[in-house]
Each structure stands twice: as C-alpha cells, then as structure tokens.
C-alpha cells in the first residue's frame, strides 16, 4: 500500500473532529474523500501531510510512520495542494521551482531547472511561466500549484478541493490533468471534493465522512441513494448517463 491511515483521531481543544479514521491508498489510485462542510476532510488531509499531529492513531507512507519523518522528508513523499491557490508576486516559474526545495542542498541545480521546464511543458503552462501569480485566474493558479507539487517528485498527491470556485471547463481540465499526472508520474492521489458527480466521473474509490467518522467506503457500488441521503441529509435519486452514475436531488 502507498498509504495507511490507522485509527486516526483528532480534536481542536475539546471539539472532536476525527474519530478512529482508518483506510488505505493503493498504487495509481485516486481516492475521493467526500462529506458535508465541517466533517473534518481538510483536517484529515493535514494529518496525512504531517501539518498537524493526530491525538491518536498513525499515518504510514510506504510502511514509514510520518511522525518519525521531518517535514522535508514528508515533502519528498507527499505533494500537498491546498484548497486555495496562493496569490503572490512570484512568476509561475519561480513558484513551481519552490517545489524543489525539499531536494535542494546548496542551491538550484541544472536538474531542478530541467524538471521544472519539463513539468511546465507537460502541463502546457509555457504561456504562463513568466506571468505573475497575482495576475492569473483561479484555474491558472491551481494548475501552477499542481505543477509545484509534481516537481517535488512525490509518491502521493494530496489535494484539498482543487476544483472549488472553478467553472465547469476548468474543473474538468484540472481533474483530467491530475489523471495524466498520475499515469505519467506513477503517483497516487487523495482528493477532497464536494461535487459528487464530478468525483464519480474521475475517482477510483470513495470515502464518505459523517460526524468525523467513515460512514461508507468503496468503489462506485458503495454509492446508493440511501447512503447519500444519510450523509448529506437530502433525498436523492441515482440515474445513469454514458455509463456514469449521476446523483440528482429530489
């Protein structure tokens, strides 16, 4: 397994956010973590990435407990893309180059520059490479954030709502881009999303969280109208279009 999360619980002061979360991530798999606002999806990603430490349980990356690793070592294994792409006065090239920081010792090498240029070309970001981040659209900034995570050369990409606030075209572009990256760089991905139908189109497996616990887990077969209604407290029906299940509110 690429990643194992075992009985992870987390609290902010006296507020319980996550309770006994356990799951694994398989090679070349896209795992979607779903659920209403406030159930702990982002907190779970922060536990996985070592940004916060669980109160109990452990996160293992290829049989290594991340609590025993430095943040630099974690960054070599896990590339993290936050929910909101940063808006700063850096060019896209420089922002992507920052992804090489975990591998740098004395400065930027020719290998670092070669990797950055290769990823820029792969993601068709040539026209953006010398533009400033704060002059880009949300979709463009998100692509730069993903490119920066890729040049870390991680084994796992962790993305927190990478399609939030994007129009339909950019949502699809970002998720197709992620599939290409997973295939060509042989990485796995964990992604949080609110759009169930978009997740059904792109993800391989799903985890639904309710009240800080895993309510359902599995492939597309785990998604039933009863489960969705229970998690989101809304009546739905499920239809099929071109082989894809579509969740429709009643």
Can you tell me the distance from the alpha carbon of 210 to that of 143, in angstroms, rounded to the nearest whole number?
Answer: 30
State residue 205's pLDDT score.
95
Q: What is the mean pLDDT of residues 240-249?
A: 87
Rounded to the nearest integer, the mean pLDDT of the chain is 90
The per-residue pLDDT for range 174-208, each reduced to its tens digit, is 898 888 888 888 899 999 999 999 999 999 999 99
The per-residue pLDDT for range 4-28, each reduced to its tens digit, is 999 999 998 888 899 999 999 998 9
The pLDDT of 68-87, averaged and rounded, is 84
Question: Domain 3-249 belongs to what architecture?
Answer: 3-Layer(aba) Sandwich (3.40)
Query: Could you tell me if 52 and 10 are in contact, meaning their C-beta atoms sit under 8 angstroms apart?
Result: yes
State the average pLDDT over residues 113-126: 90
The strand pairing partners of 25, in sequence order, are: 3
Across 126-142, average pLDDT: 88
Residue 49 DSSP code: T
Average pLDDT in the 142-153 region? 89
pLDDT in tens, 152-174: 999 999 999 988 778 888 888 88
103-107 average pLDDT score: 85
Count of beta carbons in the 10 Å neighbourhood of residue 118: 12
Q: How many CA atoms lie within 13 A of 238 on its CB side?
A: 16
Write out the H or E segment, with its range, that includes residue 46.
helix 41-48
CA distance 36 to 113: 41
Q: How much is the pLDDT for 85? A: 64
**pTM as predicted:** 0.90
Q: What is the CA radius of gyration of the chain?
A: 18
Q: What is the dihedral of CA 6, 11, 17, 23, to 10 degrees?
A: -10
Domain ranges across the chain: 3-249
């Amino acid at each position: 397994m690429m990643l194992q999360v075992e009985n992870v619980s987390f609290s902010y002061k006296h507020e319980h956010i996550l309770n006994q979360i356990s799951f694994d991530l398989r090679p070349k798999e896209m795992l979607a973590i779903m659920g209403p606002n406030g159930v702990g999806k982002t907190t779970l990603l922060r536990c996985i990435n070592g940004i916060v430490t669980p109160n109990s349980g452990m996160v293992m990356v290829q049989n290594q407990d991340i609590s025993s690793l430095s943040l630099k070592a974690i960054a070599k294994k896990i590339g993290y893309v936050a929910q909101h792409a940063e808006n700063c006065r850096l060019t896209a090239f420089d922002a992507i180059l920052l992804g090489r920081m975990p591998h740098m010792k004395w400065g930027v090498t020719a290998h670092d520059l070669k990797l950055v240029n290769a990823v820029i070309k792969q993601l068709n970001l040539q026209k953006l490479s010398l533009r400033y981040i704060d002059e880009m659209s949300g979709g463009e900034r998100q692509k730069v954030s993903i490119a920066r995570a890729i040049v870390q050369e991680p084994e796992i990409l962790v993305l927190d709502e990478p399609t939030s606030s994007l129009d339909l075209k950019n949502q699809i572009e970002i998720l197709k881009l992620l599939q290409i990256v997973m295939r060509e760089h042989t990485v796995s991905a964990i992604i949080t999303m609110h759009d169930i139908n978009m997740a059904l189109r792109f993800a391989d497996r799903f985890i639904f969280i309710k009240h800080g616990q895993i309510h359902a887990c599995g492939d597309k077969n785990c998604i039933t109208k009863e489960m969705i209604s229970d998690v989101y407290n809304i009546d739905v029906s499920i239809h099929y279009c071109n082989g894809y299940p579509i969740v429709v509110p009643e």
